[in-house]
């Protein structure tokens, strides 16, 4: 069994996921950097390994149950433990459209990645976390999914993140007797390919709260929604 805590990060070949992987490795965790494209994942992991980080690549498409199964088998085989799951992978496919106009297939695809993906990963990861008696699950959500702030523009993306927030609450309560802490966070508006380069925040700023939630002690928060380590309205 690995001596170090081990984290699995989805969609970690670029953007905020890559930065979360880097910050977790800097904090001393062993990191499984997963990506849906094997080559892109391998290149991203190699870039961090070249800087001296303990990072291993793993192919993982969150929409493919077989791929999720293989990734968890990889973690179990290589480390015999999983301490941290970061559900970061997401797509935003319906900017500048409306709920009345967005194609149903686009809504379905968005939910496959942004909601069913994290659901699959949680269900696959929790047995290994329970075995270790420890777990931190961080759902990378969005302020655009905050129920109290829901509005027009990007409806499928927004509603998929609202559903992810609901998943966070329900799962956290189901796990209340365990040392598995489940939380959601929003990185704020960050410069990545998802949003473009006009955003004010760096990936380092966007990733920091996810890394905090991934490494808090057993007295840390559970079932919360955070931005910059502060409570954010659901
Ligand atoms: N950037 C922001 O301002 C902002 C604001 C609020 C919330 N967020 C959230 O932050 C997270 C990261 O966003 P980002 O800005 O870093 O986006 P990004 O640069 O577009 O990165 C998205 C990542 O998700 C991966 N991905 C997409 N579909 C996948 C699938 N089916 N299986 C596995 N991986 C998949 C992408 O892989 P490929 O490279 O193969 O496409 C990529 O690695 C997301 O959850 C997003 O909703 C971002």
Give DSSP secondary structure letters for 68-82.
Answer: HHHHHHHHHHHHS--
Binding site membership of 189 for ligand 1 (Cβ less than 6 Å) = yes
Which among 74, 79, 111, 157 is annotated as catalytic?
Answer: 157
Predicted pLDDT at 206 = 98
| Domain assignment of residue 42, yes or no | yes
Q: Give the chain's domain count.
A: 1
| Domain assignment of residue 196, yes or no | yes
CA–CA separation, 230 vs 214, rounded Å? 15
| Domain assignment of residue 1, yes or no | no
Binding site membership of 34 for ligand 1 (Cβ less than 6 Å) = no
Distance from the alpha carbon of residue 79 to the mean position of ligand 1, in angstroms: 26
| Domain assignment of residue 44, yes or no | yes
| Domain assignment of residue 86, yes or no | yes
Q: Which range of residues forms the domain containing residue 64?
A: 6-231
| Domain assignment of residue 151, yes or no | yes
Q: Summarize pLDDT for 93-133 with one digit per residue, the tens.
A: 999 899 999 999 999 999 999 999 999 999 999 999 999 99
Token pair for residue 193?
A: 């390919």
Binding site membership of 207 for ligand 1 (Cβ less than 6 Å) = no
Q: Summarize pLDDT for 187-233 with one digit per residue, the tens.
A: 999 999 988 889 999 999 999 999 999 999 999 999 999 999 999 99
| Domain assignment of residue 138, yes or no | yes
CATH number at residue 221: 3.40.50.720
Binding site membership of 37 for ligand 1 (Cβ less than 6 Å) = yes
Distance from the alpha carbon of residue 89 to the mean position of ligand 1, in angstroms: 5
Binding site membership of 11 for ligand 1 (Cβ less than 6 Å) = yes
Q: State residue 134 phi and psi, 5-degree precision.
A: -160, 145
Predicted pLDDT at 1 = 81
- Helices 65-79 and 117-132 pack at an angle, to 10 degrees, of 20
Distance from the alpha carbon of residue 77 to the mean position of ligand 1, in angstroms: 27
CA–CA separation, 41 vs 166, rounded Å? 30
Predicted pLDDT at 196 = 81
Going by alpha carbons, the residue nearest to atom 43 of ligand 1 is 11
Q: Summarize pLDDT for 146-175 with one digit per residue, the tens.
A: 999 999 999 999 999 999 999 999 999 999
Going by alpha carbons, the residue nearest to atom 7 of ligand 1 is 142
pLDDT band (50, 70, 90) for residue 2: confident
Q: Which residue out of 187, 203, 208 has the highest number of ligand 1 atoms within 8 Å of its CB and is therefore the one to mutate?
A: 187
Predicted pLDDT at 195 = 87
| 116 is a catalytic site residue | no
């Amino acid at each position: 069994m690995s001596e170090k805590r081990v984290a699995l990060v989805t969609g970690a070949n670029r953007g905020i996921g890559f930065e979360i992987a880097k910050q977790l490795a800097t904090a001393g965790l062993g990191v499984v950097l997963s990506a849906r494209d094997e080559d892109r994942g391998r290149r991203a992991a190699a870039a961090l390994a070249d800087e001296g980080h303990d990072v291993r690549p793993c192919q993982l498409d969150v929409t493919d149950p077989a791929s999720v199964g293989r990734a968890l088998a990889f973690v179990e085989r290589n480390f015999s433990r999983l301490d941290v799951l970061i559900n970061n992978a997401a797509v935003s496919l319906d900017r500048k459209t409306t709920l009345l106009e967005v194609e149903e297939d686009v809504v379905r695809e968005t939910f496959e990645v942004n909601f069913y993906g994290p659901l699959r990963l949680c269900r696959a990861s929790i047995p290994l976390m329970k075995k270790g008696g420890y777990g931190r699950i961080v759902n990378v959500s969005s302020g655009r999914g905050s129920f109290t702030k829901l509005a027009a523009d990007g409806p499928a993306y927004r509603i998929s993140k609202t559903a992810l927030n609901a998943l966070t609450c329900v799962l956290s309560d189901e796990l209340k007797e365990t040392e598995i802490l489940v939380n959601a966070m929003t990185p704020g508006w960050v410069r990545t390919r998802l949003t473009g380069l006009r955003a004010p925040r760096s990936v380092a700023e966007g990733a920091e709260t996810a890394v905090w939630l991934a490494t808090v002690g057993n007295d840390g928060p559970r079932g919360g929604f955070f931005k910059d380590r502060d409570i954010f309205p659901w």
